[in-house]
Structure 1
Amino acid sequence: MKPFDLVLVAVDGSEESTRAVEYAVGVADAYGAAVHVVYVLPEGATATTETEEYADTAEEIAADAGVPIDTETVSGFSTDRLSQHPGSVVLDTAEDAGADFLVVPREPQTGSRAAVLEKTAEYVLRYASQPVLSV
């Protein structure tokens, strides 16, 4: 039995996210696993050309290592439950995808995207049932 079959990585399109994708691909490559990239959008945002271009970047990184990859875009907040945290959206996505290892960027960032992914990383580190690599 392989220790990991699916590595999930939460991203926002930042340089820190790209580094997280590189680590996720490295872990997946080492264990013969696949990667699931989750692009976390701020509240009220929708997928854009930038989101699609970032998915292409992640796919190129995985292709260079020969690692299977798929991508998904999620809203950082629930539109149904006001108390849902962006980190819980990532953890719910990890559960739904069957991920058994998580990678999250945690370095300080700037700009509007920073608040969502920083909150996400802290939450995931605290509440994930899977092993987490924070880069």
Structure 2
Amino acid sequence: MTEPPLEVECVLVPVDGSDESAEAVEYALAVAEKYGASVHAMYVLGEELVRGIESGAVDEEDVVSETETFLGEVRDTAADYDVTVSSSNAYGFSTTRKTQHPGSAVLDTAEDLDADFIVIPREPLSGEPGEVLEKAAEYVLLYASQPVLSV
């Protein structure tokens, strides 16, 4: 048996609670299991939620609860794989930094984690407020220095 041509220690999978991001988690877990890597699920908050939190119109604790519920589902799914999972939350938008958007948040986290592989959902442009990764996939594909699987 030959060694895989790629060494992967950490697979980053950005998620936003959508069905598409749940599917991306399955791909990330499969890749990580194949290479003996870990998975980091990064929950990306979109512009509407960030603005709502900052203005006080959205309760940050409710958002944290929702993200933790989804990330708990990620950990439950990971139980079917021989993979360690970590997670974090990130603002995919900033009212003070013009250059912060979901794609840049993904790449910044990939760099911080020294991720070797990214699995990102390529979502239909549905306009659902919680689905923030729909535009990020193309950006990540263009600018990532590591291999990217867009699903």
TM-score, L = length of structure 2? 0.82
Match in the other structure for 1:113: 130
Q: How many Å apart are 1:98 and its aligned residue?
A: 1.0
1:37 counterpart = 2:41:
yes
Q: How many Å apart are 1:51 and its aligned residue?
A: 0.6
* Moved >6 Å (runs of 4+): none
Percent pairwise identity: 56
2:104 maps to which of 73, 88, 91: 88
Q: How many Å apart are 1:109 and its aligned residue?
A: 4.9
Say which is worse superposed, 10-19 or 36-45, in terms of deviation.
36-45
Once residues 83 and 31 of structure 1 are traced to their aligned partners in structure 2, the CA distance between those partners, rounded to angstroms, is 33
* Structure 2 residue runs without a partner (length 5+): 54-59
Larger gyration radius, structure 1 or structure 2: 2
- Cα offsets for 1:16-47 (capped at 9, x unmatched): 01100000000000000000000000121543
Match in the other structure for 2:118: 102
Alignment coverage as a number of residue pairs: 134
Q: How many Å apart are 1:85 and its aligned residue?
A: 2.4
Match in the other structure for 1:51: 67
Q: How many Å apart are 1:50 and its aligned residue?
A: 1.4
Match in the other structure for 2:10: 6
Once residues 75 and 48 of structure 1 are traced to their aligned partners in structure 2, the CA distance between those partners, rounded to angstroms, is 12
* Structure 1 residue runs without a partner (length 5+): none
Match in the other structure for 1:74: 90
1:122 counterpart = 2:138:
yes
Say which is worse superposed, 21-30 or 39-48, in terms of deviation.
39-48
- Cα offsets for 1:83-103 (capped at 9, x unmatched): 322201110001001101000
Once residues 67 and 95 of structure 2 are traced to their aligned partners in structure 1, the CA distance between those partners, rounded to angstroms, is 20
Q: Is the partner of 2:44 in helix, strand or coil?
A: strand
Q: Is the partner of 1:74 in helix, strand or coil?
A: strand
Q: Is the partner of 1:57 in helix, strand or coil?
A: helix
Once residues 56 and 50 of structure 1 are traced to their aligned partners in structure 2, the CA distance between those partners, rounded to angstroms, is 10
Once residues 120 and 67 of structure 2 are traced to their aligned partners in structure 1, the CA distance between those partners, rounded to angstroms, is 17
Match in the other structure for 2:57: none
2:81 maps to which of 49, 61, 65: 65
User: CA-atom RMSD, angstroms?
Assistant: 1.6
